[in-house]
Amino acid sequence: MRKTTFIANFVAWVVLAVACTAFLAWYHLSGTVAVAEVLDMAIVQVGIVAAAPVLLYAIGVVLGLLLVRFRGITFRPGAKRALRAVGLVGLALIVLGVLPYFAQGLQGALMWASAIVVVASMTAPLLLSAFGFAYALGCAGVSAPRPARS
């Protein structure tokens, strides 16, 4: 993995993890009156649904990036694409879970994704972290081709 790719991904995911942690701290530590005043805002509703899953995903990405960078892990191109696809499927599920709060017409059609994201973050948090870890492994470098057998 190139150094710039590592730094850009690492910084972006750490900033996202810190933002999600700050939101969760505000939501859980502030009084119910303070939360009730802004509860009808779309960004607060998105934060309530997506902060924990995105934090879990970001933890998986950060751990995976550190492992890839400092252990020098490489993959064949096909495995790298498969890992990246698995990681992006998990991220797409989180995004689909958030869409009903921005597009009111999609509420009925995409509430299944919101339910899956919320339930998965409560019952199977390692699954969301595993999706992030797969994304990070998909960022690894490409291994040298094996020599042909004679």
108 against 77, higher pLDDT: 77
In the chain, the number of structural domains is 1
Is this structure's pTM higher than 0.85? yes
pLDDT, residue 106, reads 66
Q: Is residue 149 part of a domain?
A: no
Q: Is residue 119 part of a domain?
A: yes
Which DSSP category does 141 fall into?
E
Q: Is residue 29 part of a domain?
A: yes
The C-alpha angle with vertex 120 and arms to 116 and 126, in degrees rounded to 5, equals: 150
Residue 109 is part of which domain span? Answer: 3-142
Q: Is residue 147 part of a domain?
A: no
Q: Is residue 102 part of a domain?
A: yes
Helix axes 42-71, 107-123, angle to 10 degrees: 50
pLDDT single digits (tens) 46-79:
888 889 999 999 999 999 999 999 998 888 989 9
Secondary structure string (H, E, C) spanning 33-67: HHHHHHCCCHHHHHHHHHHHHHHHHHHHHHHHHHH
H helix intervals, 72-104: 77-98
What SS3 class is residue 82?
Answer: helix
